[in-house]
Amino acid sequence: MIKISINLFLTGIIFGTGPCLATCGPILISYITALKKSPKGALISWLLFSASRIFVYALLGMSAGLIGSSLYQGYYWQKSSFVIWIIGGLFICLLGLLVVIGKNTHSKYCLKMQDVFLNKDKKSIIILGLVIGLFPCIPLIGIISYISMISVRFYQGIVLMLCFGLGTIISPLIFLSLGAGLVTKLKILRNENIYVWLQKAAGIVLFSLGVHILVKTITGYIR
């Protein structure tokens, strides 16, 4: 059990510098830039994002130990993945759109949503972490399926998946997040007009990533 835990932790490190970085990096960096985070705020966002993602991993590990690999190789991958990807894509699109719109709107509904998801952004970063944690990418399905086959008790699935999740934290993403926080403190960005354009650009990137997820999911489902 200890040897397997260590191996999964090391696997998590590999994933954190590869597939996880490619998936989470653009979304988290754009989010931090768009909300003009300080280095401290960027670190807090990264911690909340990582904690909520690992929480999902623990739940998946528990269910893997209880139900077995057939859930992930069958129902979870083929049935639920479409809905999860669509919801995730729509939420990322929403965040990007709210950033692009900014305060230049007379819509009370938009201003309310900005207050909920941008001004009180801890909620949105936690939701983002939960959504990303549920994204059923093929490598993650493989890890969960493996855990489901070797776990005798449900708590073993939790422990093994937590080891994997903790490994993914050791990633260049923490330095990229801090870098995004430092960029917003550059002297040139103290000019409000210049920062507004940077903020809108980050919002467009977020929106584009959400659209990419939606298009990829829908076209893959049609095929």
**Rounded distance between C-alpha atoms, residue 34 and residue 198, angstroms:** 7
**Rounded distance between C-alpha atoms, residue 146 and residue 67, angstroms:** 13
Most confident of 174-178, 191-195, 219-223: 174-178
The SS3 of residue 106 is coil
Residue 117 DSSP code: I
**Strand segments (E) across 150-189:** none
- pLDDT for 6 beyond 80: yes
- Residue 107 in tokens: 């819509």
Mean pLDDT, to the nearest integer, of 27-35? 81
Give residue-wise pLDDT tens across range 106-140.
667 777 777 766 766 678 888 888 888 877 666 67
- pLDDT for 213 beyond 70: yes
- State which amino acid sits at residue 64: A
Phi, psi dihedral angles at 214 (to 5 degrees): -65, -45
- Residue 173 in tokens: 């993403």
Give me the pLDDT at residue 103, please: 67
**Rounded distance between C-alpha atoms, residue 19 and residue 116, angstroms:** 30
- Compare 189 and 84 and report the one with higher pLDDT: 84
- Residue 213 in tokens: 């997820």
**Rounded distance between C-alpha atoms, residue 174 and residue 29, angstroms:** 10
Mean pLDDT, to the nearest integer, of 18-25? 76
Give residue-wise pLDDT tens across range 60-104.
888 777 765 455 555 455 556 677 778 888 888 888 888 887 766
Give me the pLDDT at residue 167, please: 87
- pLDDT for 159 beyond 70: yes
Per the prediction, the chain carries an average pLDDT of: 77
Give me the pLDDT at residue 75, please: 46
Per-residue pLDDT band for 221 (boundaries 50, 70, 90) equals low
Q: Given the structure tokens 């988290």, which residue do they identify?
A: 28
Going by C-alpha positions, the residue among 24, 75, 83, 80 that lies closest to residue 218 is 83
Mean pLDDT, to the nearest integer, of 46-66? 85
Q: Given the structure tokens 């994002």, which residue do they identify?
A: 49
Among 3-7, 85-89, 189-193, the least confident range: 189-193
Among 20-34, 52-66, 168-182, 188-202, the least confident range: 188-202
- Compare 187 and 152 and report the one with higher pLDDT: 152
- Residue 101 in tokens: 């719109």
Cα 156–Cα 161–Cα 164 angle in degrees, nearest 5: 135
